[in-house]
Amino acid sequence: MGILERISEIEREISRTQKNKATEYHLGVLKAKLAKYRAQLMEPSKKSEKGEGFDVLKSGDARVALIGFPSVGKSTLLSTLTKTESECASYEFTTLTCIPGVIDYKGANIQLLDLPGIIEGASQGKGRGRQVIAVARTADLVLMMLDASKQDVQRDLLEKELESVGIRLNKPKPNIYFKVKKGGGIAFNSTCALTKIDEKMVQMILHEYKIFNAEVLFREDCTADELIDVISANRVYLPCLYVYNKIDQISIEEVDRVARKPNSIVVSCNLFLNLDYLLEVLWEYLALIRVYTKKPGQAPDFNDCLILRRGVTVEHVCHAIHRSLVGAFKYALVWGTSTKYSPQRVGLNHVMDDEDVIQVVKK
């Protein structure tokens, strides 16, 4: 029996098993088996599976993967937001390779990848699905393009395909400490009350992975699925922005309903509606900030900025300017919203804000 048949058999057994207290251990083991087989399915085979145009070098300040079903307007969006021409047509599968483009926004170069349309069964390799999903795993953000008139069906199918290959959208990492040991059995502990899992289920799941010596500490109330994610250690947690295109084809009441969904934006690529707001939200989701530098006795250089991630410290800024700067660092003067007054003398641990100006003073 092949891996696909085993996966289908386990999925059928999970769907027909009633969920209650008596079956929760059985379901936990089935989910662990399913995760193992799916991991094997995504491993590259001995035959080369490289697709033409899929090995795109990561460049710029951030990478965004544009995914969706065929013919929802991905290529139109790429051509509109970047200077890249991606072939657009009203028939499906116009894009057959990964086409990169660059969005120049607020001084940042954001790499936007137009991936071929995903179809149902992509996680099992249909329609070049594995290559598409492999590229999506390397992104900083997933931009999921949906047809506003078929939104719920498309969204559920795409989320299911990405979930099955270990891409978790808009979810935090489970707060579970897990470490395999050489001996001593399974040490289980928790810092909070557990209602979704217990020690017996943890042991059964670990035994399914042939793990008999490990340390497990739950810092929050997690499910069996989240424990399996931690054990698998190949899950990717990505922010996702749902972009509903073709809003000119639905009623204004429906547009209002869709726009109020969390992590959602409504646009029309053909009529250029709401694309400026899309770029603003994209910037926020990527958590990018601009830091300007200033030389002693000179005005700040507002024509050139360092693009960094929200939460960076002065030490990160120094590394971005030059790797040897931290060794010669004495203090920094910072102007901006991160300070109580301007300029403020700060050390390496000071956290920077968007559009702050920094002057580094060396020893």
Reported confidence tier of residue 49, pLDDT bands at 50, 70, 90: very low
Whether residue 122 has pLDDT greater than 50: no
Whether residue 123 has pLDDT greater than 90: no
Q: Distance (Å, rounded) from C-alpha 260 to C-alpha 256?
A: 6
Whether residue 296 has pLDDT greater than 60: yes
On the 0-12 / 13-18 / 19+ scale of CB atoms within 10 A, 293 is middle
The pTM is what?
A: 0.79
For 183-195, what is the mean pLDDT?
A: 89
| Structure letter (DSSP) for residue 226 | H
Per-residue pLDDT of 248-266, as tens digits, reads 888 899 889 988 999 999 9
Per-residue pLDDT of 86-110, as tens digits, reads 555 444 444 456 778 888 988 899 9
Q: Tokens representing 223?
A: 């499910």
User: What is the residue type of 192?
Assistant: C
pLDDT at 91: 40
Whether the Cβ atoms of residue 71 and residue 91 lie closer than 8 Å to each other = yes
Whether residue 111 has pLDDT greater than 50: yes
Reported confidence tier of residue 198, pLDDT bands at 50, 70, 90: confident
Whether residue 336 has pLDDT greater than 60: yes
pLDDT at 127: 45
Q: Distance (Å, rounded) from C-alpha 261 to C-alpha 242?
A: 9
Rounded percentage of the chain residues whose pLDDT exceeds 70: 86
Count CB atoms within 10 A of the CB of residue 8. Answer: 14
pLDDT at 43: 61
The average confidence (pLDDT) of the chain is 83
Q: Which of 109-123, 142-156, 158-172, 347-361 has the lowest mean pLDDT?
A: 109-123
pLDDT at 308: 93
Whether residue 346 has pLDDT greater than 80: yes
Whether the Cβ atoms of residue 141 and residue 241 lie closer than 8 Å to each other = yes
Whether residue 46 has pLDDT greater than 60: no
Per-residue pLDDT of 207-219, as tens digits, reads 988 989 999 999 9
For 21-32, what is the mean pLDDT?
A: 82
For residue 131, give the nearest of 141, 139, 123, 120 by alpha carbon: 123
Q: Distance (Å, rounded) from C-alpha 80 to C-alpha 280?
A: 15
For 335-340, what is the mean pLDDT?
A: 93
Q: Which of 2-6, 82-86, 237-241 has the lowest mean pLDDT?
A: 82-86
Number of helices and strands (H, E) in the chain?
Answer: 10, 16
Reported confidence tier of residue 44, pLDDT bands at 50, 70, 90: low
For residue 78, give the nearest of 138, 139, 143, 141 by alpha carbon: 143
